[in-house]
Amino acid sequence: MSVWDDLQGQSAVVDQLRQAAEGDGLTHAWLFTGPPGSGRSNAAKAFAAALNCDQEDVTKRGCGTCAACRTILGETHSDVTFVRTDKVTITIQESRELVAKAGNRPSSGRWRVIVVEDADRMAERTTNVLLKAIEEPTPRTIWMLCAPSPADVLVTIRSRCRPVALRLPPAADVAALLVKRDGVEPALAERAARAAQSHVGIARRLARDPDARERRLETVRFPLGLRGITAAILMAEKLVKIATEEANSSNEERDAAEKAALLATLGAPETGTLPPAMRSQVKQLEDDQKRRAKRSITDSLDRTLTDLLSFYRDVLIIQMGNAVELVNVELRSELDEFAARSSAEATLMRMEAINKARNRITTTNAAPLLAVESMAASLI
């Protein structure tokens, strides 16, 4: 076992990080970039474990079995902090707390490591709080920032970080990981990896959840029934409903558990009105949960539109001569018929409409339903 085992299809990255963990090219700040599903945060976590591994032999660090490796992989190590947000952005107060924590020397490991998994979700003034800490790092502290691309991080930050560029692994590697790590049946693992377009997290969800596979297939088949504006409006409503239901199903249980845990921690009475001090803390939790719900719905809708995009991606591949494998192989006959009725130029325009809707939903305050309705009308 090794901390690098989950980084399928990333041999160049593993070599780079393994050498740094052994002392060759180690620096105080790193920027992990790659498309969603490429394993940015997993790579950062594995690197943090290798840096603090208990093995004395530097060539064996990252063993995955020592106490340091296990606690870091389990995110319970006292010297390694993981920062991710379920809200729209990381706040400036959270950023200041990170800087303060980075100033402390490690308590048990070789290095204090700060892993910011959502570095692209920081406003400019929030990122500037980190700038001085990264420019003038505390001894024995290493920053690891994760973002989809270098352009998602301020140039003043990325110029001070060593880049680690990940790519989406081949679907075969993702399928092999599902079989080895999660015990998924090989044929199902292959279908899930292909449908997820090599996104490891989504592939795992598709492999384990039959309802998720059914929702995805329903989404991908939508263009086959687009015959007019009424059908487009109905499709838009259904897409938003699918994304909202999927996000809410995971939020409701977690929100209730968080509220119950908070009330238990505060020693709240089982019945009656809460004292004012407790009400304010419960209100703050509920506000945080609302912000998290907004982001989770946005992320879920973006994934749904990505599934829809795979239909037109396959159509374009057929129209261009079948140069690469299709994502939705099970719809081959329908895809062939659809491709024959259209042109590559029209397919590209439809793909652009979907990407425009994704951009509006994830980067602006556009109402999701209006953005998707506009997109659906362009797909007719």
Q: Where are the domains of the chain?
A: 11-165, 225-378
Q: What's the pLDDT tens digit per position in 73-118?
A: 998 999 999 988 766 678 788 888 888 888 888 988 899 999 998 8
Question: Are 144 and 111 a contacting pair, CB within 8 Å?
Answer: no
Three-class DSSP labels, 208-264: HCHHHHHHHHHHHHHHHHCCCHHHHHHHHHHHHHHHHHHHHHHHHHHHHHHHHHHHH
Instruction: Report d(CA 160, CA 28) in Å as an integer.
Output: 9
Return the pLDDT at 18.
Answer: 93
> What pLDDT was estimated at residue 92?
83
Give the range among 10-24, 191-205, 263-277 with minimum mean pLDDT.
263-277
- Give the pLDDT mean for 152-159: 88
Q: From CA 6, how far away is CA 174, in angstroms rounded? A: 9
First to last CA, the chain: 51
Percent of the chain with pLDDT over 70: 96
Q: How many CB atoms lie under 10 A from the CB of residue 9?
A: 22
Quick one: average pLDDT of 201-209? 88
Neighbours of 30 (CB within 10 A): 23
- Please name the fold of domain 11-165: Rossmann fold (3.40.50)
Q: In terms of pLDDT, which residue wins out, 73 or 245?
A: 73
